Amino acid sequence: MKNIIIDVLIAVILISVLQSDLFAQEKLKIAVVPKSKSALFWKSTLVGAKLGALAISGVEIIWTAPLSESDKEQQISIVEQCIADNVAGIILSPIHQDALASSVSKAMKKKIPVIIFDSPLKGVPGKDFICYIGIDNRKAGYRAGEHLVKLLGNKGKVVLLRYVKGQANTTEREEGFLEAIAKHQNIQVTMKDQYTGGSVDEAKKVCQNLMSQIREADGIFCPNEQSTIGMLLALQEANITDKIKFVGFDTPALAVEALKKGQIDALIAQDPSRMGYFGVKTIVDHIRGKKVPTKIDIDVSVVTRDNLNDPNIQKLLSLPSTSE
């Protein structure tokens, strides 16, 4: 009887030791590197990444980003540091489709898997990086163009405000928009080669400087959150929000409020939290030996005042609270 008690006690001690932190499996450190931390879009991505980490045991999220979405050099330095720190994987939204390719290649050669999200990188998914997760940006821009044409009754002058040069996602949205507009002979594009910087303030300043041309337009398209907010603030300051049909991109609170007031006519909405969630899930599956897709499509929705209260739209507009 005494020997049985001793054996049981030994077993209990062994189980306790095996369950202790001393023998706990080291967490996979996954670096999530967006283009910046400031925009609501990236904060929503962080929410999704954290939800993904919660759903999978043994994962730690490292959230790090440049100060500006135009600072590709800082983003390169961040990725290089992640490589030096030997993280388990990198989930990256590249500021520039070419400039980040070398660092991504370096990571992959060191057996650090990289997933690209939101903004494409030069290369082949499944070969030069593990997977691309994001929307069909050209299709999204095309839908924006079609909707603006509808708002204008198939005639008028339109302005395209481009974002930072070299960013593949916004470039494809801009080209998709122009492709849609080109199919309508009575729509004239009066401005299509003006770029903003990587922040709302820079976008607003560009719009202010171009206000004489913008005033002559009947419709406007902006391809992302910062350009949309910068244009909105400039239009509000000029007191002409009711004179121009405006299709923006992404759904920060300021833009949604402007949509409710009729200062913006439509917003092309993504689901960045899904990008973050599937980024973490996919890279961990890959690390743990599971076969993963080379591309995951995230669809977009056209948000208007008519469908603003639709439950599916409301899901896209709600952002769970999170801390960085």
- CB neighbours of 220 closer than 8 A, spacing ≥ 6? 158, 159, 160, 161, 214, 231, 244, 245, 246, 247
- Where exactly are the structural domains of the chain? 28-135+271-298, 137-269
Prediction pTM value = 0.81
The Cα 67–Cα 285 span in angstroms is 30
Fold (CATH) for 137-269: Rossmann fold (3.40.50)
Element (H, E) at 133: strand 131-134
- pLDDT, position 37: 87
Q: What is the mean pLDDT of residues 214-232?
A: 96
Which position has the token pair 């992959």?
Answer: 108
The Cα 51–Cα 13 span in angstroms is 34
- pLDDT, position 319: 55
Beta strands in 93-130 (DSSP E): 114-117
Is pLDDT at 13 greater than 90 in this prediction?
no
Confidence grade of residue 315 (pLDDT, cut at 50, 70, 90): confident
The Cα 100–Cα 77 span in angstroms is 10
Confidence grade of residue 38 (pLDDT, cut at 50, 70, 90): confident
| Averaged confidence pLDDT in the chain | 90
Fold match flag (28-135+271-298 vs 137-269): yes
The Cα 226–Cα 208 span in angstroms is 15
How far are the Cα atoms of 11, 15, 16, 290, 315 from residue 19, in angstroms, in the given order? 12, 6, 5, 26, 39
Confidence grade of residue 214 (pLDDT, cut at 50, 70, 90): very high
**Cβ proximity of 174 and 227 under 8 Å:** no
The Cα 227–Cα 41 span in angstroms is 13
The Cα 45–Cα 244 span in angstroms is 31
- CB neighbours of 70 closer than 8 A, spacing ≥ 6? 95, 164, 197, 198, 199
Is pLDDT at 148 greater than 60 in this prediction?
yes
**Cβ proximity of 163 and 195 under 8 Å:** yes
CATH 3.20.20.140 holds for 28-135+271-298: no
